Chain A
Amino acid sequence: MTHAGNNSGSYLDAPHGIASWLLTKDHKRIAILYLISITVFFMIGGLFAAGIRAELLTPAGDLFTADLYNKVFTLHGVVMIFFFLIPSIPATLGNFLVPIMCGAKDLAFPRINLLSWYLYLIGAMLTLGAVFMGGVDTGWTFYTPYSSMASNTNVTLAALGVFIAGFSSILTGFNFIVTVHRMRAPGLTWFRMPLFLWAMYATSLVMILGTPVVAITILLVGAERALGFAIFDPRVGGDPVLFQHLFWFYSHPAVYIMILPGMGVISELVAAVSRKQIFGYSFVAYSSLAIAIIGFLVWGHHMFVSSQSIYAGLVFSIITMIVAVPSAVKTFNWAATMYKGSITWESPTYWVIGFMGLFLVGGLTGLFLGAMGLDVHLHDTYFVVAHFHYIMVGGGVMGFLGGIHFWWPKMTGRTYPETAGKIAAILVFVGFNLTFFPQFVVGYLGMPRRYHAYPEEFQILNVLSTGGAGVLGVGYLLIVTYLVASLFKPRNAPANPWGATGLEWDIPSPPITLNFETEPVVTEDAYNYAGRAQKAREN
């Protein structure tokens, strides 16, 4: 099914001009706007990361001053988390695919969708403003009383940026929830939905229930700094640990905002590269909801040594162990999906396997940290740093890049060189492991995080880590290069290059502005490869 003739009506072409993009209400164009902005922020965050790794090449703090180093790691965290990871998959692939997978013309509230991008931009600009006005040095966690009383940096401005970006995220989640509830095409029942939609729905729940709490918390820190109010101030009896409760009430679930979409992408990719119904569809679907909901009950595992009550610690620890189970269920189901599949060796497969390898390590090392007695030793060491990078970069970014490689022909109408795609996936996988695996070892040795200088016995592992970061950086640059280069080539992508099922593959690449010429009617389950092949044989 090639709609070469229809490409003139593609969403990329009409209407023309910058204004038509900046004022667009088309979810696909907004996805592209987001894609461009988060790529820019990924590069900024990556530059900060390179700075961190360069400083840690030697034990002495010789590249940056301590102050500068603290600002660099703070901004690495703030930029990567709030301006890259949280919007990464939801605002790009999610924006692009949620309406199409629902069989709808657009999201429920297209104007609010555009507003969310502008809020993101305003938040990002304020935070960048804080960078240019001298930076901020509190760590992305903004812990009080350091952030409210001790730091002399631009905390208020950076916090305001994060606050506003939070609303951008809320609006995205809100739009997805209403869209999934109200805009599904006839016949698209909940259990016929692609698993990516389930994952986006679960993610959106976390966004709307958690984000407002961190927003008000950051606002309170702002009020302490700007107005002299006392909320967490220990001098008048305020409790800094309350800040940690409120902060992690959002920021732990926020980890699921970063990983659930990646899981959704991988569910799609596993089925497509294996040309097979996903194994245990309903278990994978429900596990997304379970992770989103149970994930709200575990925040105190960030506080095992914070002077939180040990009994509260018990509750948080046991629920943490429980929330590991749905993640394990997903992983086993993905692996089982490949059993007796028809597995292609095109580039998306490399990302799928890479994701599984890294996510396994990330998830399993969470068990070390959930076990309280062991966490006392590991808390705030490089073990934690390695763990969450395996989850958020190994899981989140691999999922994001896998998704980008998979849907790139659909989004842009272009194809990228397959070999380059495979090499990039291997480089990222190898570079990533080389960067972060040594950090588990150095973490168990006791190297604390956020250290500008460190004892000499940790050096060799840090050198390995920095070397790996170089490989990782080359991998990312390679991807940006060939994807951007592909934009200058003619649009030659077929409507369904992977032979995958799903409404998005039934429409031309790139899609027309209204997605569908006629409203689609769904008559089959998702991933009905066997059924379709059967039908093809009968015809």
Chain B
Amino acid sequence: MQSSFPLFPEAASSIASDVDLLYFFILAVSSFFAILVSAAVVYFAIKYRRRHADEVGHDIHGSIALELIWTVIPFVLAMVMFFWGADLYFRLARPPADSMEVFVVGKQWMWKVQHPEGVREINELHVPINRNVRITLGSEDVLHDYYIPAFRVKMDAVPGKLTTMWFKATKAGTYRIFCAEYCGTQHSGMIGHVIAMEEHDYEAWLAGGRTTGTAVENGERLFTQLACITCHKTDTSGRGPVLAGVFGSTVQLMDGRKVVVDENYLRESIMNPQAKIVLGYQPIMPTFQGTVSEENLLQLIAYIKQLKAPAAAPAAGAPAAAGQPGGK
């Protein structure tokens, strides 16, 4: 994969060389100051070494001008680093809209991956190069962290919620995946590989993978199996809100708050349904904590996400106006 004694990591994603550039900038600034100060200290220590026992130093107390200089210059440099780093960070935080989605769930001590097409893998992740890949991360138990050094990306998997990361691989190859958040005995065994492939190789791999239906199909099956459908009907006669078109809308809660329906709201509404009840509905939904695994949960969410509001909806204007019963 690499030489046996690398000193610098491979750069295989669209952001990697930008991260490296910031690294070299800070490295240059740091080296300059480290060498400057060290050299000054050693030079002074030799040049002004004590010549006889009761010699004392010159009576110098300080200099406001110097203090200002060495306050302002580091400050300005630090601000450059801040803005540069923040810019990169914001890019890392915002997956582009055209990203393909992959679900990854951390579990002591493995990474379980689901592609939307239904192919699953463990501790490996196959992705096409030159396409934006958005990963939705969940955790079954404790904190984990999905880390791909060659892509310079990393994100915690936090139990109780979903998190997001994205990358665009630029070079075909096999790269390491590490769990970077300590998670117990086999933490150092929670590793794997990303296999970045040319687009057509990826398609071939997908086609050859065993699948038990796409994520949406699995979600739909679960939706029926778990009897979600008995309350969340396609018309408003159900005891729970209609879910079509709910994703991305804003719903009003019983206590007057308004929330945007996103992945984490859907997740919470399945695992801890009493937490945020939509206005006009009773808190009667049971919790699915312990019944639904994080993987199933991601399938359910994939299913709910793609449910579109009926095209002929009489409500003019926004697809799901505030106040209209929405998610649960």
A residues apposed to B, CB below 8 Å: 61, 66-67, 70, 137-139, 141, 143, 145-146, 149-151, 234-241, 274-277, 279-283, 304-307, 310, 313-314, 317-318, 321-322, 324-325, 328-329, 331-336, 338-345, 349, 353, 356-357, 360-361, 364-365, 367-368, 370-377, 379-381, 441, 444-446, 448-457, 460, 499, 529-533, 536
Contact = CB atoms under 8 A, between A and B. Distances in A.
Interface stretch (B117-125, B152-160, B207-215, B235-243): B152-160
Interface string B135-170: 000000111010101101111101111010000000
A342 B180 contact: no
Given A325-B71, A325-B75, A335-B44, 19 more contacts: A146-B143, A237-B275, A240-B159, A275-B57, A280-B61, A328-B74, A336-B66, A342-B48, A342-B50, A360-B34, A371-B82, A374-B22, A374-B23, A376-B89, A379-B154, A380-B154, A448-B180, A450-B187, A529-B56
Q: Is the interface of A mostly helix, strand, loop or mixed?
A: helix
B37 interface: yes
Contact of A374 (B2, B4, B26): B26
Contacts of A377: 19, 149, 152-154
A506 B70 CA distance: 35
B314 interface: no
Contacts of B61: 277, 279-281
Given A277-B61, A279-B60, A353 B41 contact: yes
Interface in B13-56: 18-19, 22-23, 26-27, 29-30, 33-34, 37-38, 40-42, 44-45, 48-51, 53-56
A374 B272 CA distance: 36
Given A146-B142, A335-B37, A499-B54, A376 B45 contact: no
B48 A310 contact: no
Nearest to B77: A367
A368 B26 contact: yes
Nearest to B39: A335
A129 B156 CA distance: 33
28 contacts: A67-B185, A70-B187, A141-B182, A145-B159, A234-B160, A274-B48, A275-B56, A277-B57, A277-B61, A280-B67, A307-B163, A325-B74, A335-B41, A335-B44, A339-B60, A340-B57, A342-B48, A343-B48, A345-B45, A345-B49, A345-B50, A370-B81, A371-B84, A374-B88, A375-B85, A380-B145, A444-B9, A529-B56
A454 B188 contact: yes
A262 B81 CA distance: 27
Given A305-B156, A372-B88, A353 B45 contact: yes
A281 B147 contact: no
Given A336-B66, A341-B57, A145 B184 contact: no
B92 A451 contact: no
Given A324-B74, A360-B37, A371-B26, A307 B48 contact: no
Interface string B275-304: 100000000000001000000000000000
B23 A444 contact: yes
A322 B76 CA distance: 10
Contact of A340 (B60, B62, B149): B60
B8 A239 contact: no
Interface of B: 1-9, 18-19, 22-23, 26-27, 29-30, 33-34, 37-38, 40-42, 44-45, 48-51, 53-63, 66-67, 70-71, 74-75, 78-79, 81-82, 84-93, 108, 141-143, 145, 147, 149-150, 152-156, 158-161, 163, 176, 178-189, 191, 268, 272, 275, 289
Q: Is the interface of B mostly helix, strand, loop or mixed?
A: mixed
A446 B185 contact: no
A341 B57 CA distance: 4
Given A306-B158, A379-B180, A343 B49 contact: yes
A291 B161 CA distance: 35
A344 B55 CA distance: 10
Contacts of B179: 448
B146 to A, nearest CB: 10
Given A70-B187, A367-B26, A317 B82 contact: yes
B86 A373 contact: yes
Contact of A240 (B22, B51, B84, B143): B143
A305 B186 contact: no
A69 to B, nearest CB: 8
A310 B93 contact: yes
A143 B143 contact: yes
A307 B161 contact: yes
Given A277-B59, A340-B57, A150 B184 contact: yes
Contacts of B38: 356-357, 360
Contacts of A345: 45, 49-50
Contacts of B191: 455
B156 to A, nearest CB: 5
Contacts of B272: 236-237
Contact of A325 (B7, B78, B91, B154): B78
B58 A530 contact: yes
Contacts of A322: 75, 78
The interface centre, meaning the residue of B38, B48, B56, B155 with most chain A CB atoms within 10 A of its CB, is B56
Given A372-B89, A450-B182, A341 B158 contact: no
Nearest to A243: B143
7 shortest interchain CB distances as A-B pairs: A373-B88, A446-B149, A234-B160, A276-B57, A371-B85, A530-B59, A372-B89
A282 B63 CA distance: 11
Contact of B178 (A325, A335, A448): A448
Nearest to B38: A357
